[in-house]
Structure 1
Amino acid sequence: MTELSIEPRRKPGHFEIALDPRITDPSALRVSFVILLDGDLVMSPEHLGVAYMASTLREAGFTCEIREAEHDQHEKAIAGVLEFAPRLVCFTLMSLNVPSCLAFCERLRAELPDVVIACGGPAGTFTGTDILRANPFADLVAVGEGEPIILDLAQRLALGESVEDCPGIAYRADDGSLRQNPARPLVHNLEALPYPARDQLIAHGNKLEYVRVSTSRGCVARCTFCSAPNLGNRVQAGKAWRGVGAEHVLDELETLVREHRFRTFDIIDSTFEDPDGGRVGKKRVRAIAQGILDRGLDIFYNVCMRAENWSDDDHDLLDLLVRSGLEKVNIGIESGVAEELLLWEKRATVEDNVRVIRLLREHGIYLAMGFIPFHPYATVETLTQNAEFLRAHAGHNLRRLTERLEVYPGTSIAKRMSEDGLLGERYQSTLDPYDYTFVDERVQRLAGHFASLYNNDDYHERGVLTEQSAVFEFETFNVVVQTFVSRMYRRFHHLPGVVELLERFKDFLHVTRQEMGQANHAFFMDNLDDVLADRLDPAKRIRQLEDVERRFRACIDRIRTEQLRIGMAAHRLGVDITEISSSLPEVTGGGAPRSYNGGAPTW
């Protein structure tokens, strides 16, 4: 009897890099990924979604490049693309860079009329054909995770085949109609993906603010304002959260340290301790932290956490994380008002938020706080309550008091605002995250007033950072100072006199931040009173702009002077500051190599 050979059934979301045998020279197909440096990418340009797609294509043999395009300086990037002569040009869209992408595509289409232009990213995933309607120069839009789509598209283009039946895209058909194919399932096994390409790190001379690392995709929360893949906005079938094992993470970190001599990382997972925020997730987190120590990786890193997942039972784990290099945590606190937490469908309570702020402070971990006081449903009462909350908890950053909701496509809050008639008429075509009105006109006036105080019109109108005022500089400077303290503690606590020196500096910082928090609260309430009394005027705005800039600049100078004094005193105690830099020192001729033994992505 002949035995039948039965192929094992593949799970939905199975992914492997396999090349169609009909393609004999994949390197002949050239793909250009253009990264528009708007929004968050102004401060740190590395884009992991693009990096994963580039490494996927390269493993299959295709030729690709990653090219950055600075805001309002597209000509240089376009010239580079023309020289590269790609068959396919790809853009990752977020709400803030949709106008930039339109302008770039128009210019590109004029120079390369036959090139295929593809868009993707969060904005593309949730709007599909709307992007094609708003951007007549784009040919298709990728919906969801990019690696399977880009590999399929590249092979179809290499074979000269139609892309119209490619799963997971919206496209412009030959007859001009706009169509959208069903989405692909999520990639089931993330370890099947190659490690991301590090073109941008190399292009910046291995010197970035930090290098991004992804250890998981998805989120089991359902925050109404969030466009990252989560339980509340799913467009692809598959598990809501997928992660790689601790050894996979450690291998990537070790490679980055060894090959690029870089050791400051931003782990971009939506929630580091998912999938459950408890036993399962924290077991994985513990394995990663312990593995960092066991391998002697002298690194520093940031993560995102959720407030409700951490309690006084976690001191031991937090200690381990700090020893392994954790120095900053991003948490979406969002509000100090219980009713607003319900609006955002946050699982955390106000009490959870207060507790996690305390826990991080006790462990010397810097808190980067998400906070949304200004939104269409905000009231004078909620603004006042949030101002009081911030005065008591990390109110030294003025922007936390004045932050506006950014409305992203595909979110529950966008749907609700549309139903309530609060979204602007142009929102669907522009995806302008600030194109909405407020229920309370007084809140709207105050939101616009604050947004105009500490940056130019690019930020005021579109949230794009093109200049950095002292308010923004103070935020980033605060992180640098805090990490200076935490790294000094970690590296040099054994040297006599160092701990006492740092404790005095911490006391100085605490007093200075408290003073800034009090001043920010007074400033906020003064402006709120002016709105209620209809006293806002252009002349006062100019005076306030100068006063805010002067106050924050003076604070930066005061802290910097004290930090310099502390650094000089520490040097006299035997401290070598270069040992806590983000990059490892280069090996110089004649010396032995230095050893350090202890520093979601869509398209």
Structure 2
Amino acid sequence: MGVLLVNPPSLSGLEGRGLGGTMSYFEYELSFTDEHWYKSYPGEHLGLMALVAVLRGAGIPVRSVNGQTECHRFVDQTWQAMLAAGREIDVDLIGFSGPCQVFEENVDLARRARRQWPHAKIVLGHQFATLNYHRILSDYPEFDIVAIGEGEATIVPLTAATGADSLAAIPGIAWRDDGGKVRMRPPPVEPLDLDTLPPIARDELPDVMRIGVSPTVYTTRGCPYRCSYCTTGQTAGLLHKKLGYRERSVDLVVDEIEQLIADYRIPHLTLVDDLFVAKTPESYERAVRFARTLRERKVHIPFMLDCRLDSADADVFRELAEAGLYRVFIGIETGSGEQLTFYNKRYGERYDVEYVRRRVGGLQELGIEVIPGILTYHPATTAEELRETLNVIDACGYESSWQFLCEVFAHPGTTLWKQYQRAGWLAEEWPVPAWELRDPRARQVRDAVLEALDAGGGHVEARAAFAAALAAHD
């Protein structure tokens, strides 16, 4: 009995730019990103490494292949690594992971795996798989099972399953019965207690350190919000409702950080929570406790995290900054309050450019670098919205040409994807959705920015092109 876990390399974006086979994903990112930003990219696949830890604890042989951190330039490199790993164990179960952007790579590798190990169970996991399990199992015979939700709860029972009847006894999976019908058994009502899980395996960390991206730790799982474009919140809502957002013990998290510093001499850290702190007194108190625990235990390490705009409380973040927080990514999304409502963002207070300026400026005054996440375009973007978004970009004071190009991504299975699908806005709906701008004025603005960047411009030139194209419509 043995398990092979696989994360394919993300190559579709490179191929779309005519760079397929010339470099890996991280090599491409480094080619246009300065080291200051590149070093905070999360490198490890904590999901797979959590499964490795659980399987080892159960005494089950396991090997993992991460084509991303191994800097594969071709899917065939990942396949060769799988073959090498398969020579070390008796492969009974193969688990694939990844978002929709690597689904075709996963299908390719699963087909090869089926031929190589015809008796092995082939499982697909990830939020993408959870939200689209029925379509995947209906249309892709390469996959026998979809893990619905948290793989730590299902991976060991799956290794012992011998047929459809035994699969039916495992909560938290979808599968095909003997008649080919897709079945799904929901996860347990009570989700996993994160503090009871074994420490994450760190097999990938040497590669992460070598290529210069960031070691990672998670302190929460899930999200209490239900933004229409986000797979995390909607997966949490599908599986456990309010229990979909859970927090790890602060002391255990700091223990883990101390261990990483001692064992690997990590120079910095990225907290990969989708939402480190929510806008509640309890969450604020936990964030402060985390900061003070780091200081009290003299754990000195620069770290980065993500948060919502409405949870960026200056008093809380002052404590975090004193503990080492140097960079925050904030999903601001748009300058349009109406579009923010459409995304189901739910700030619960008036949203305008002054609100953005106060929140972002409060963190910047603490010496924290704020990276604003801007979704500049959606299918129905108007020139009027783009003016509002330009004001928000300026209010954030962060210089990046990509702010003038970012588009909302409609992940399959999300509310946003379903809305776009019903409206007929998706030029491609599966597995990697694509849409076109409907307003020709918005297209002209985007094209002007692209032209400025193609000519070698940066933030200043991109902003000037953006503003000039808007002014042409006044």
Q: Equivalent residue of 2:200, what SS?
A: coil
1:120 aligns with 2:125: yes
Amino acid at match of 1:185: V
| Residue 245 of structure 1: aligned partner | 249
SS in 2 for 1:228: helix
Does the aligned pair in 1 maintain the 2:330–2:373 contact within 8 Å?
A: yes
Moved more, 379-388 or 64-73: 64-73
Secondary structure of the structure 1 residue equivalent to 2:371: strand
- Relative to structure 1, is the Cα distance of residues 113 and 453 closer, same or farther in structure 2, using a 3 angstrom cutoff? farther
Native 8 Å contact 2:372 2:398 kept in 1: no
Q: CA deviation at 1:153?
A: 0.7
Secondary structure in 2 matching 1:271: coil
| Residue 454 of structure 2 corresponds to residue 524 of structure 1 | no
SS in 2 for 1:336: coil
Distance, in Å, in 2 between the alignment partners of 1:452 and 1:153 is 52
1:154 to 143, 152, 159: 159
Match of 1:302 in 2: 304
Aligned partner (choices 397, 417, 422) of residue 414 of structure 1: 417
Identity fraction in percent: 25
Alpha-carbon offset, residue 124 of structure 1 = 0.4
After TM superposition, the structure 1 = structure 2 runs for residues 205-284 of structure 1, keeping only pairs within 5 Å, are 208-229=212-233, 233-236=237-240, 239-274=243-278, 277-284=279-286
* TM-score (norm. length: structure 1): 0.66
Distance 1:121 1:344, change over 3 A: same
Q: Secondary structure at the match of 2:63?
A: strand
**CA offsets, 1:524-547, max 9 Å, x none?**
2345678x79xxxxxxxxxxxxxx
* Matched-pair contact (CA < 8 Å) for 1:201–1:207: no
Q: Distance in 2 between matches of 1:58 and 1:296?
A: 32
CA 93–184 in structure 1, closer or farther in 2 if over 3 Å, else same: farther
Q: What is the alpha-carbon root mean square deviation over aligned residues?
A: 3.0
**Counterpart residue type for residue 401 of structure 2:** L
Given residue 57 of structure 2, which amino acid in structure 1 is its aligned partner?
E
**Which letter does structure 2 place at the counterpart of 1:327?**
Y
Deviation string 1:260-317 (CA, Å, 9 cap, x unpaired) is 111411111222223xx23211211111111111111121111112211234xx34x3
**1 CA distance for matches of 2:144 and 2:471?**
51
Kept after mapping to 2: 8 A contact 1:216/1:242: yes
| Partners of 1:394 and 1:517 within 8 A in 2 | no
Could you tell me whether the CA contact under 8 Å between 2:43 and 2:214 is conserved in 1? Answer: no
The aligned counterpart of 2:84 is 83
Q: How does 1:413-492 map to 2 (within 5 A)?
A: 413-424=416-427, 426-427=428-429, 430-434=430-434, 436-443=435-442
- Taking the aligned partners of 1:453 and 1:432, their CA distance within structure 2 comes to 27
User: Is the 8 Å Cα contact of residues 308 and 352 (structure 1) preserved in structure 2?
Assistant: no
Letter in 1 for 2:433: P
For 1:352, give the aligned amino acid: Y
Residue identity opposite 2:355 in structure 1: D
Q: CA deviation at 1:205?
A: 5.4
Q: 1:74 offset after TM fit, Å? A: 2.2
Specify every segment of 5 or more residues in structure 1 that has no aligned partner in the other structure, as ranges: 1-28, 456-468, 472-515, 534-603
The change in CA–CA distance for 1:453 and 1:470 in structure 2 (over 3 A counts) is closer
Q: Tell me by how many angstroms 1:145 deviates.
A: 1.4
What does residue 67 of structure 1 align with? 65
Structure 1's 448 and 521: CA in aligned 2 closer, same or farther, altered over 3 A?
A: closer
- Separation in structure 2 between the aligned mates of residue 134 and residue 116 of structure 1, nearest angstrom: 17
1:373 Cα deviation (Å)? 1.3
Question: Cα deviations across residues 529-578 of structure 1 (Å, max 9, x unaligned)?
Answer: 78x79xxxxxxxxxxxxxxxxxxxxxxxxxxxxxxxxxxxxxxxxxxxxx
Query: What SS class does the counterpart of residue 304 from structure 1 fall into?
Result: strand
**Alignment partner, residue 181 of structure 1:** 185
Give 2:343's aligned residue: 344
Aligned-pair distance for 1:204? 4.3
Unaligned runs of 5+ in 2: 14-24, 27-40
Q: Is the 8 A contact 1:222 1:346 kept in 2?
A: yes
Answer whether contact 2:225 2:233 (CA < 8 A) is retained.
no
User: Are the counterparts in 2 of residues 222 and 231 from structure 1 also a CA contact under 8 Å?
Assistant: no
1:213 positional shift: 0.8
Instruction: Tell me if the contact between 1:221 and 1:231 (Cα under 8 Å) persists in the aligned partners.
Output: no
1:97 equivalent to 2:102? Answer yes
CA offsets, 1:33-63, max 9 Å, x none?
Answer: 1112228974543111111111111111111
What is the aligned length? 437
**Equivalents in 1 of 2:164, 2:182: separation in Å?**
21
Partners in 1 of 2:177 and 2:446 — Cα distance?
43
Q: Which of 287, 290, 300 is the aligned partner of 2:289? A: 287
For 1:82 and 1:52, locate their aligned partners in 2 and report how far apart those are by CA, in whole Å.
22
Match of 1:396 among 388, 394, 399: 399
Which structure has the bigger radius of gyration? 1
Distance 1:398 1:344 in 2: 24
TM-score by length of 2: 0.83
Work out which of the residue numbers 34, 44, 47 in structure 2 matches 1:46: 44
> Would you say the 8 A contact 1:214–1:269 is kept in 2?
yes
In structure 2, what residue type is equivalent to 1:393?
Answer: C
Contact 1:215–1:243 (8 Å) recurs in 2 = yes
Residue 354 of structure 1: aligned partner: 357
Structure 2 SS opposite 1:328: strand
User: What per-residue deviation string (whole Å, max 9, x for no partner) do you get for residues 358-412 of structure 1?
Assistant: 0121111111211111112211211122123313433521111110111113322
The verdict on how the C-alpha distance between 1:394 and 1:133 changes in structure 2, with shifts beyond 3 A counting, is farther
Give the direction of change, closer, same or farther, for the CA distance of 1:421–1:282 in structure 2 (3 Å limit).
Answer: same
CA distance in 2 between partners of 1:207 and 1:254 (Å): 22
Alpha-carbon distance in structure 2 between the residues aligned to 1:386 and 1:52: 39
Task: Quote the offset at 1:237 in angstroms.
Answer: 5.2
Deviates more, 1:291-300 or 1:70-79: 70-79
Q: Quick check: 2:208–2:215 contact (8 Å CA) kept in 1? A: no
User: Relative contact order, CA 8 A, sep 6+: which one is greater?
Assistant: 1
Partner SS for 1:58: helix
Partner of 1:37: 9
Corresponding residue SS for 1:45:
coil
